[in-house]
Chains A and B, each alone.
Chain A
């Protein structure tokens, strides 16, 4: 695979280059190659092929050396990644260790990364909720960030396009705040989910508990079978990679689809150094890639470049793409590149006991939970903080195991597992407000193993976030009380930004080149053949898990690029 700099330039020329093979990069690859474009997909990490490279996927719990727990030697040397809920023995090999790829935290920021083909799409939590105009209107209505250059109607057909291919399990809920999509059947809610849903209906106007829409094939269509994917078997071990292709990741879906066209060249171990800008032509002509093994720099060329490196790494690449025309980073005339970052506030949780419904329980495993869409400040501003939060809600019957005694008595107890009461819980997913002070920049002297500047990250919570945590806990407590839940426990983890794994912005979309970096089709205002369609493009964050929106934006942007012949 390794091509050296002597290789004929023509061989290193493509119609499109996609930087990154994760959630959005995979979509760019699929859409370009389906349109007949010769596409080079660059991935900084190793290749991970569907089925073949899921080493733990069929392991039983007892087959892991520490039955899932991570050794202290690893967690102590890698405190950031060790805080990630999925960094366990079964999936740790898909996460970047702190030690291997250092970055600078000007303020605490847990940067969770997956450097391999498929990126974080292998380990994502698979929640897929659409945005509505209540979200796109946010910045303009509430006076923060800049106005989004698009509205729901612009993205709706692309949401549908993506959903049909990905396979989204959900119900048509008919909610303005969370538009319905192209859904495969939903799983059942639990009895207590239903009960809580009724409590909310009875007591509130706009609090609707629904089944959390998620990227699982509950009933695969011909399009999914054609991808080689099959029905989700409710293992709920998705983070290992799925032997059935039951959930969506790039590895099982978009990338093999793109490969089948014969138009994709996938190049793993390719660290992108920068994008090449040609002053004379007034556009980007290619990218500089460092082979992660040989450290040799190779240039690749294309008409169009899609930057899908993952929100912060996309910022890094653009900041590092300097030229005489763009001394401060590609497209960065207004100095806003790397600024106005935001994320999701996942700090607060609430747990309780439900003493009713003891005659019922669940059976099998669910891969999602119930979801309470944003109800704060939806139609108008009504609190002392801007925007609001969505909430996950889950309920399950706990299992009690008696452990008194020893010998025969204990052995007998261990064999009997008794159902305990229902446990209910919720976590917040709060919108944060992008601010210029939340930013990334290139470190002036520290470099990584490939000579690329390390990223300085400066992102913090603000007063709005604190008020929102308080409000979530108060409101959820009230809702739980109305439901008669007992032993209500609230907590604020105070976790650092980043651990939500929903970092966004820095290369935001907007109408005005003076105040934004990207236009309504995700092109850099000042370098139109470079598109950014991963989390970096987000003008605001709203509350929805963002991957679905990145995928829809990507498909829409590729459509724009191909219609315009590469600008």
Chain B
């Protein structure tokens, strides 16, 4: 992906700013340590998606999106299985998202307090049918993170247990007895 000098400078600034301003409320490492083969993703972009994921599906008494590395899986699928145009669209959306937050709050999304991040994302969540590019990006990122989270080992062994070996098939059972209703 070709990068202009201006973009590069901006990214370097983001990175250096980010590394000194990580608040303790967001227990993120400085870098998520992704290794991508095709896409060029800055540390700041990594951190924005990580903060997004942490806000979307936070750690509570159960694991959150970051615990199961949902953001890393999103990057992996984008990098390996997604056409270039879609990769670029995602990064563009991510940058716009980050910039819009910064404009509103005067600081970086990935350094912001959880409440600020939550409020900002909630506005977008409530406009889910809007064609506003920010909302479109929000929906897409949300969808990808949900897919990553619900497909994780944690989720499929603790929340909705995947049965590898059902050893049975019943064609017609009452919904009251169905496992999905039991929990």
Contact = CB atoms under 8 A, between A and B. Distances in A.
Interface of A: 58, 60-63, 65-67, 69-73, 187-191, 193-194, 233-235, 237, 358-367, 399, 401, 403-408, 410-411, 414-415, 417-419
B121 A72 contact: no
A367 B167 CA distance: 11
Interface in B55-114: 55-58, 60, 62, 64, 73, 76-77, 80-83
A239 to B, nearest CB: 15
B170 A364 contact: yes
A359 to B, nearest CB: 6
Nearest to A195: B172
A71 B38 CA distance: 12
B160 to A, nearest CB: 6
Interface stretch (B2-10, B25-33, B175-183): B175-183
Interface residues of B, number: 51
A365 B163 CA distance: 10
20 contacts: A60-B162, A62-B152, A187-B171, A188-B169, A188-B170, A191-B171, A191-B172, A233-B165, A234-B167, A235-B164, A235-B165, A237-B164, A359-B174, A360-B175, A364-B168, A367-B169, A406-B57, A406-B118, A406-B142, A407-B57
Given A73-B80, A365-B166, A399-B180, A410 B57 contact: yes
A72 B159 CA distance: 31
A193 B170 CA distance: 12
B81 A417 contact: no
B122 interface: yes
Given A61-B156, A234-B167, A414 B149 contact: yes
Contacts of B55: 406-407
Given A403-B146, A417-B180, A72 B81 contact: yes
B58 A233 contact: no
Given A360-B172, A408-B58, A415 B159 contact: yes
Contacts of A358: 175
Contacts of B149: 414
Contacts of B162: 60-61
Question: 6 closest Cβ contacts across the A-B interface?
Answer: A188-B171, A364-B168, A191-B172, A364-B166, A364-B169, A190-B171
Nearest to B153: A62
B175 A359 contact: yes
Contact of A233 (B166, B171, B180): B166
Contact of B82 (A72, A360, A366): A72
A411 B58 contact: yes
Nearest to B68: A62
Contacts of A363: 168-170, 173, 177-179
B125 interface: yes
A523 to B, nearest CB: 43
B64 to A, nearest CB: 8
A411 B166 contact: no
A285 to B, nearest CB: 50
Contacts of B164: 58, 60, 235, 237
A70 B81 contact: yes
A79 to B, nearest CB: 14
B11 interface: no
A361 B173 contact: yes
Contacts of B151: 61-62, 67
Contacts of B163: 364-365
Nearest to B118: A407
B42 interface: no
Given A69-B77, A364-B169, A399-B180, A414 B146 contact: yes
A194 B174 CA distance: 15
B150 interface: yes
Contacts of B62: 411
A146 B62 CA distance: 68
A411 B145 CA distance: 12
A62 B62 CA distance: 18
B56 A406 contact: yes
B171 A189 contact: yes
Given A234-B169, A406-B125, A406-B142, 16 more contacts: A65-B80, A66-B77, A71-B80, A71-B81, A73-B80, A188-B169, A188-B171, A360-B174, A361-B172, A363-B179, A365-B169, A367-B169, A401-B150, A406-B57, A411-B58, A419-B175
Contact of B171 (A70, A193, A359, A415): A193
Nearest to A75: B81
A414 B150 contact: yes
A419 B80 CA distance: 33
Contacts of A418: 180
Contacts of A419: 175, 178, 180-181
B142 to A, nearest CB: 7
B151 to A, nearest CB: 5
A495 B166 CA distance: 34
Contacts of A364: 163, 166-170
Contacts of B76: 65-66
Nearest to A59: B164
Chain A CB count within 10 A is highest, among B55, B165, B183, for B165
Contacts of A71: 80-81
A417 B171 contact: no
Contacts of A366: 169, 171
A193 B171 CA distance: 9
Contact of A72 (B64, B83, B167): B83
Contacts of B121: 406
Nearest to A187: B169
Contact of B160 (A65, A187, A406, A415): A415
A187 B155 CA distance: 30
A235 B165 CA distance: 5
Contact of A234 (B64, B125, B168): B168
B166 A72 contact: no
A414 B57 contact: yes
